[in-house]
């Protein structure tokens, strides 16, 4: 890859090397060891903890030895989503990168720019002896995408910096200074099985082709949730005929809006053609409803040759539960930030495991009390359906500090460089800054920046190449001006 901005070439070359190494959440051992080997080769001090968070210390450049230590922070893992026809194995296959005009994307998978681009930028800075910068701590956390587990596991004293620049935001020209907190709710509905008479036909009903996306950044777009679409479809079918559920699967990650879902069901043989006609009408209605957000939405019904003759006896409870569980924006912020989502829920995934139907939801809110209320509501709905339910993976919101000295100097530098003011942003997605700040013995001054990434957490993820150089130039100028504090 060759681009006009010299450092863009270097950054994306590092990123391409990073993308050769599988780094699914919970499986970061290989990328962590690769970075340790790189640090050792360059005589950088290394520190790891019990969960494999990694800290690499880069000495200050000449004249910056007494400057405040700056933490450059990102996470090692990536969301692993692929299109239904992709054969990619995220446990062993490298990500294939494709330059598509002004954008960089992958071949039918997530690209991993979230957050591999942070690792690549930090490495590029560390390798350039001509860049003026304070002492640096490159802090790379594990397992961010499944619940910010790595950041939560950091022990006090793991890092020394008092200034933190997170490189996990996804819009160039934005300075992020706050984010929502969140938690997950795990629902288990006990199910029982019974035999089905021979005059029933086993079929598979699929809901797919939906756009999906990041459940924090894109929840406001009101895109279709495949689990909800399929539950709505099954609800419509059962109003016309008896239906018995054998299996229901959908969704892959707590922070990704489900794009595909599949149900295996028994339907009376005499009703099959009628149901096919019903699905065509249902698909037409849904495509009209989601024509702006999910133009490729589809419903399909296929004969299933499985010899299973057992189905779930409490099918109605399953459908009722999925209809009742909320998905999408719950409240907008009352603060002076236009259209900022305050509280939301993602109906994230569903599976049948043994004699339990397992459902995962992911709640977010900038207000702790509203996060708690929404979580309690979901738990109450689940209990009313006879489920076993518990909530975990809680993480704190990052509360914005408008009087931040780092924010002030960042705004000044950005305006001088690009002749326009940056946008000060608080996002609904989760960032690790708030959690990391809790691990510091002194107050951390923090901002989050990053190049423009679209459709993160989906196979349509893409990176706007031209913004990599802009973020790089801004970051270097900022580091240059952090010689002696503010």
Is 241 strand, coil or helix? coil
Return the sign of the alpha-carbon dihedral for residues 412, 415, 420, 422: negative
Q: Are 95 and 22 in contact (CB under 8 A)?
A: no
User: H helices of 154-225, where?
Assistant: none
Polymer length in residues for the chain: 486
- Angle between helix 226-238 and 315-324 (nearest 10): 130
DSSP 43: T
Residue 298 phi/psi, 5-degree rounding, is: -145, 160
Separation between Cα atoms, residue 75 and residue 239, nearest integer Å: 47
Helices (H) and strands (E) in the chain, counts: 11, 25
Q: Which residues pair with 57 in a beta bridge?
A: 45, 137
Q: Cα separation of 341 and 335, whole Å?
A: 10
Residue 59 Cα to chain centre, angstroms: 33
Report the distance separating Cα 53 and Cα 158, nearest Å.
Answer: 10
Q: Which of 69, 66, 64, 79 is nearest to 114 (CA)?
A: 79
d(CA 81, CA 461): 10
Q: How far is Cα 151 from Cα 182, in angstroms, rounded to an integer?
A: 14
Catalytic residue among 81, 143, 144, 170: 144
Question: Is 77 marked active-site?
Answer: yes
| CA count, 13 A, side-chain hemisphere, 120 | 27
- Residue 98 burial (CB count, 10 A): 12
Q: Confirm whether 144 is a catalytic residue.
A: yes
d(CA 406, CA 485) in angstroms, rounded, equals 9
Distance CA 86, CA 65 (A): 50
DSSP state, residue 143: -
User: What crossing angle do the helices spanning 6-18 and 113-127 adopt, rounded to 10°?
Assistant: 120
> What residues are labeled active site?
77, 144
């Amino acid at each position: 890859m060759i681009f006009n901005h010299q450092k863009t070439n270097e950054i994306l070359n590092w990123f391409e090397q990073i993308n050769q190494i599988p780094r699914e959440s919970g499986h970061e051992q290989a990328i962590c060891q690769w970075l340790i080997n790189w640090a050792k080769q360059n005589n950088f001090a290394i520190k790891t903890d019990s969960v494999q968070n990694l800290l690499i210390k880069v000495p200050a450049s000449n004249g910056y030895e007494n400057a405040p230590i700056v933490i450059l922070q990102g996470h090692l893992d990536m969301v692993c989503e692929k299109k239904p026809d992709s054969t990619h194995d995220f446990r062993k296959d490298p990500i294939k990168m494709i330059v598509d005009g002004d954008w960089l994307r992958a071949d039918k998978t997530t690209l991993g720019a979230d957050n591999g681009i942070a690792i690549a930028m930090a490495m590029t800075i560390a390798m350039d002896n001509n860049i003026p910068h304070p002492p640096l701590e490159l802090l790379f956390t594990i397992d961010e995408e499944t619940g910010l587990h790595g950041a939560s596991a950091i022990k006090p004293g793991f890092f020394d910096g008092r200034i933190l620049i997170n490189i996990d935001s996804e819009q160039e020209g934005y300075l992020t200074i706050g984010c929502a907190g969140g938690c997950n709710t795990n629902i288990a509905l006990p199910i029982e099985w019974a035999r089905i008479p021979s005059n029933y036909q086993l079929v598979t009903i699929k809901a797919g082709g939906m756009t999906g996306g990041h459940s924090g950044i894109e929840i406001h777009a009101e895109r279709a949730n495949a689990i909800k679409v399929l539950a709505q479809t099954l609800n419509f079918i059962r109003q016309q005929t008896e239906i018995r559920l054998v299996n229901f699967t959908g969704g892959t990650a707590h922070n990704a809006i489900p794009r595909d879902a599949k149900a295996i069901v028994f339907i009376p043989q005499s009703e099959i053609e009628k149901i096919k006609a019903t699905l065509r009408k249902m698909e037409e209605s849904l495509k009209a409803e989601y024509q702006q957000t999910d133009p490729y939405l589809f419903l399909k019904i296929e004969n299933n040759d499985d010899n299973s003759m057992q189905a779930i006896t409490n099918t109605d409870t399953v459908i009722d539960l999925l209809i009742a569980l909320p998905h999408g924006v719950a409240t907008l912020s009352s603060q002076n930030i236009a259209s900022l989502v305050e509280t939301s829920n993602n109906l994230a995934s569903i599976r049948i495991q043994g004699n339990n139907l397992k459902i995962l939801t992911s709640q977010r809110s900038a207000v702790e009390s509203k996060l708690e209320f929404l979580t309690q509501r979901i738990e109450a709905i689940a209990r009313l359906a006879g489920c076993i339910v518990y909530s975990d993976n809680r993480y704190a919101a990052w509360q914005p500090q408008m009087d931040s000295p780092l924010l002030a100097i960042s705004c000044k530098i950005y305006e001088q460089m690009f002749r326009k003011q940056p946008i000060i942003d608080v996002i609904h997605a989760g960032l690790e800054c708030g959690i990391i700040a809790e691990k510091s013995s002194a107050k951390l001054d923090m901002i989050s920046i990053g190049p423009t990434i679209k459709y993160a957490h989906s196979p349509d993820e893409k990176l706007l190449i031209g913004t990599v150089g802009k973020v790089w130039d801004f970051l270097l100028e900022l580091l240059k001006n952090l010689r002696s504090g503010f």
